[in-house]
């Protein structure tokens, strides 16, 4: 039998060519396709938006009669931004 890759005469029962190392048969399993990763721009925009909204709500809490609700919303928004940032960093490793 002839090697499909280099044309060297090899044994009929050979699994690989002794000269070039190419397999004589097609692989049984195909490699998993590589999926494209999303752009990190979406995450950074979401984090920036959450931080800006949190800062705005913190500033707005200074001018209203009941600042507790606005401060709570600001804390939740900033906490969500922090969690998103941590998740992004951990997922990258």
Nearest to 24 by CA among 48, 49, 7, 46: 7
The set of residues, in sequence order, having a beta carbon less than 8 Å from that of 41 and lying 6+ positions away, is none
In angstroms, the CA 65 to CA 17 distance is: 83
Of the candidates 49, 72, 76, the residue with the CA atom closest to the CA atom of residue 60: 72
Average pLDDT, rounded, for the chain: 88
Give percent of the chain with pLDDT exceeding 70. Answer: 99
Residue pLDDT, tens place only, 45-56: 999 999 999 999
Residue 70 to residue 61: CA distance in whole angstroms: 5
């Amino acid at each position: 039998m002839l090697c499909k890759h280099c044309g060297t005469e090899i044994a009929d029962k050979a699994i690989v060519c002794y000269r070039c190392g190419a397999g004589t048969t097609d692989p049984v399993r195909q490699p998993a396709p590589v999926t494209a990763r999303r752009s990190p721009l979406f995450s950074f925009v979401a984090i920036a938006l959450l931080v800006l909204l949190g800062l705005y709500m913190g500033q707005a809490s200074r001018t209203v009669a009941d600042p507790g609700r606005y401060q709570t919303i600001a804390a939740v928004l900033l906490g969500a931004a922090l969690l998103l940032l941590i998740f992004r960093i951990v997922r990258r490793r």
